[in-house]
Amino acid sequence: MPAQVVLGAQWGDEGKGKLVDQLAQDSDWVARFQGGNNAGHTIVLGDQVLKLHQLPSGLTNPNCQLVLGAGMVVDPWVLEEELDRWKESSNETPEGERLWISERAHVNLPFHRLYDGADKKIGTTGRGIGPTYRDKIERVGVRFCDLKHRREDPNWLTENSARMTSQLEAHGVEGEISAADLKESLDWVEDRFGAAIKPTGLMLDLALRQGQNVLLEGAQGSLLDIDHGTYPFVTSSVTSRANATHGAGIHPGQVGEVYGVVKAYTTRVGHGPFPSELFDEVGAYMGEMGHEFGTTTGRPRRCGWLDLVVLRHSHRLNGFTQLTLTKLDVLGGLDELEVVVGYDLDGQHLSEMPACAEDQARVTCITEKVAGFAHMDTSEWLELARRANSEGVGYSALPQGAREYVEKVEAWLGIPITSVGVGPDRDATVFKV
């Protein structure tokens, strides 16, 4: 049975965690394939709210195996904090039982966090992600399979602690990494997570050949892709479908369905161009109604209209077989909605994104207006979704304006929208019939 992939189609924060949580109830494996604790997925189960940063969203299914893939940069200290919180609520310790760390994944060390904390230009999370990927590309990083060798090599410890200290100094960061400090960190990681370090690519390949359900979970979004995003205001990894299998350790032919997760409007966190951003009361309304604050950093998210130019770019990269439209309920209460259908750059009409960030920042949005729909509270939307699914009526249960909005977006993009999120709860999703 082919693997399924869930990807963010915008700048992240689209609601991927909720979809993965839903799909994971029927999955045998859920694997993260890139990024680290710069991601933040929120899952709402009634009164329980789980905020995950590295743990795959399949955590809530006790029969689901969990993988931190080879394409990730894993912060073991943050991972322990997440596991401690999970144990408090579930009394489970999944590491070494159903949570596995790829032996090829890279370790995000205290040095990387110190170095990353000096960023002022890109607006990163400061969690050490970029510096860890930089060390990976420079071939001086530490993979989980390297731990036992590196911590027992005094020459390596001396050379690399000196390298780290000099890089901090050159970056204007106070702090010294001694050989003893570095060894202590590596010792702790190996001792704490050694039982969970496995050849996860082989494990996933075997699972697929045995016909098991495998779900590959992306972090961030397509417009934050290091190659095809709004560079340099991007993350440090490949966030697209091409890396889903590569980062998990399997091959592209093993993928079937590719879910693109799209917020009913657009948000982004941090610096960088955002053509449809709103600086008025409508943008403020979206932020307030959508509780738009970053899961990882708590920073307010910038809000704007749904941008079809962004989504066409994202679809070309990922080949979505279906879309999940999230947070449609947030738009309730606006009399009129707008959708970006193209850009104007110095009088030239563009239907695709320019590659250069300076040009992206200069475009003017060309929009089409769509009728809005009335506001409903969270409990009303939840009741609507449950009724729509139990009675099998699908989108016909949506308010007229909301239904027309979904149908128009689907027609514009030419990709089936198979579910619509109308609230944070797992059950607050209307499925197409």
Catalytic option among 21, 26, 28, 41:
41
CA dist., res. 141 & res. 106, Å (int)? 7
- Whose structure tokens read 């960030």? 357
CA dist., res. 254 & res. 59, Å (int)? 23
Instruction: Let me know if 377 is a catalytic residue.
Output: no
Tokens of 284: 């403020």
- Whose structure tokens read 């304006």? 401
Instruction: Let me know if 135 is a catalytic residue.
Output: no
- Under DSSP, the state recorded for 127 is S
Give the up-direction half-sphere exposure of residue 52: CA atoms within 13 A in the CB hemisphere. 29
CB 372 within 8 A of CB 408: no
The per-residue b/e assignment along 359-385, b for 16 or more CB within 10 angstroms, e otherwise, is ebeebebebeebebbeebeeeebbebb
Tokens of 10: 């915008």
Give the up-direction half-sphere exposure of residue 55: CA atoms within 13 A in the CB hemisphere. 30
Number of Cβ atoms within 10 Å of the Cβ of 223: 30
Catalytic option among 13, 28, 181, 425:
13
CB 124 within 8 A of CB 108: no
Q: 53: which strand partners?
A: none
Distances from the Cα of 188 to the Cα of 49, 78, 105, 144, 303, angstroms: 30, 13, 17, 12, 41
Active-site residues, by number, are 13, 41
